[in-house]
Amino acid sequence: MSTSIDLPNGLVAIVKQECATCQLVEPVLQSLTGRDDVALTVYTQDDLQFPAGVDPVDDTELEVSWHLDIETVPTLIRVKDGHEVERTVGWMRSEWERVAGIDGLGPDLPEHRPGCGSLSVDPDLVDALRVKFEGSSLHSRHVELAEQEDEFEALFSRGWTDGLPVVPPTEERVLRMLTGTTRGPQDVVAVIPPDLVPVTVEKVAIAAVMAGCLPEYLPWVLTAVEAVCTDEFNMHGVLATTMPVGPVIVCSGPGTRRIGMNSEGNALGQGNRANLTIGRALQLVVRNVGGGRPGGVDRATQGNPGKLSFCFAERPDTPFGPLAEHHGVAPGVDAITVFAGEAPRCIVDQKTRDPEGLAASMAVCLRSVHHPKLVQGFDAILVLSPEHGSRFADAGWDYDRVVQEIRSHVDIDTDELISGAGGIAEGIPASLAGKRINKFAPGGLMLAYAGGEAGLFSAVIGGWANGAVGSRPVTREVVA
């Protein structure tokens, strides 16, 4: 039982009229009521006239059903000295006879019929019942709105949205969200930049509600929050830079399919609830708890739409292994990699059929990340589509071979890169002339695999300043 409740001794039955099995056992309950040697109390969840002739007790508020943890009706319970001794659910003659201690019950009924779901576990009711009968266990401040105040406009006016409407985080919704994790509501997840505020699981759950998440998304949101609040990722710096970057969340593992993430057509775009709301929840945590708001610490000159949410899953059929696996996570484990990235840019190559030529073609595009004359300072994720990826996979190239071949085409004479070369002031110092240097630092070019089956298009996500002065990708296993 979820909490104690006074029970009458004897037999206790919980039923609802709309349940066919409860209707089936109505004559059994009537026969038990007529016996002098049986004390029977019947609680009805929905109709005070049902069952007929047994004087049912009103449980339409579902208090008794909630406290008795009734999941199925009919439920028959034997009570002794105010305590439950045993119970049975649905209708099975032998079980009812055992619990009641009476033979020959319902001789004209079938031997067995399954029951129906109790109203106390109805998904439309259970969250409100939890608050009503268990009380709120939330520690967050409760904001009272005026009777005529529009709750959606109130959230806008208080500055708690990202510019789009958010779901009001009622107690019922937050408690339901917390069922998605085994962590304690008051466990501290991380310290959120820029204000360096400790954020609890409960606070993250509130943001997840506001973003539109389902409870099963919460472990992914919690892991993303942990990952960006590390010194390696440097969330404060990602906010404070004037470059148009924000957290990009690359997800992999069997859990991505279990929660319905999109790794196929339009994986980097709109239309999938899990992709969009997981990324959005992270951004709302940073905004509302950490204080990372545009015009404040967030100083992006132009920004990009991915700063609302940028989260996608890798295809499970990747021939190259998921990105997280190349960052140390075991195969088949749910994981995320967070990357400080800009909006994706399309790479078009519809003619190249051999892997060598495609590597060279992609290298030309990758050389332009942020600026063709800026090297080593910026990482990138190349998101290969299945059609492009098959060019490499069919030739037997693995992840490392693809990266190696592309990098071989962006090993550049520094005379082309120095400041002033080509009449362009941007570039590297003249003291580096006469050398060769790669566009990307070791490990700075990463691969992910996502997108629809059709289309000879891939994408590149350019990063912010890398290494100790900027941000490094962070990979974490997802922990429920």
Kindly state whether residues 98 and 165 are assigned to the same domain: no
DSSP notation for 138-194: --SPPPPPPTT--HHHHHHHTT-SSSS------HHHHHHHHTT-SS-TT-EEEEETT
Strand partners, 428: 418
CA separation for the pair 468, 88 (Å, rounded): 63
Is residue 146 in a domain? Answer: no
Structural domain containing residue 398: 157-477
Q: Is residue 147 part of a domain?
A: no
- Evaluate whether residue 412 is within a structural domain: yes
* Rounded CA separation 439/344 (Å): 18
- 270, exposed or middle or buried, with CB in 10 Å at 0-12, 13-18, 19+? exposed
Query: Do 196 and 115 belong together in one domain?
Result: no
Tell me how crowded residue 260 is: count the other CB atoms within 10 A of its CB: 14
Count of domains observed in the chain = 2
Q: Are 145 and 151 in contact (CB under 8 A)?
A: yes
User: Are residue 166 and residue 80 in the same domain, yes or no?
Assistant: no
Asked if 344 and 246 touch (Cβ cutoff 8 Å), the reply is: no
- Asked whether residue 114 falls in the same domain as residue 239, the answer is no
| The pLDDT of residue 258 | 98
Q: Which residues of the chain have pLDDT under 70?
A: 1-4
Domain identity same for 110 and 170:
no
Are residue 408 and residue 348 in the same domain, yes or no?
Answer: yes
**End of a domain among 105, 122, 139?**
122
Residue 442 lies in a domain: yes
- Do 427 and 289 share a structural domain? yes
Is 218 a member of any domain?
Answer: yes
- H or E element, residue 11: strand 10-15
- Residue 98 in any domain: the answer is yes
Same domain, 178 and 246: yes
User: Does any domain span residue 2?
Assistant: no
Same domain for 239 and 109 = no
**pLDDT of amino acid 131:** 86
Q: Which two tokens stand for residue 46?
A: 């929905």
Rounded to 5°, the CA angle 466-470-471 comes to: 70
162 and 118 within one domain: no
Residue 115 domain flag: yes
Q: What is the pTM of this model?
A: 0.85
Do residues 96 and 200 share a domain?
no
Strand partners, 338: 249, 474
Identify the CATH number of the domain in which residue 105 sits. 3.40.30.10
Q: Are residues 55 and 199 in the same domain?
A: no
CA distance 465 to 471: 6
Last residue of a domain, one of 98, 122, 146: 122
pLDDT at 4 (0 to 100)? 64
Q: Rounded CA gap, 36 and 371, in Å?
A: 92
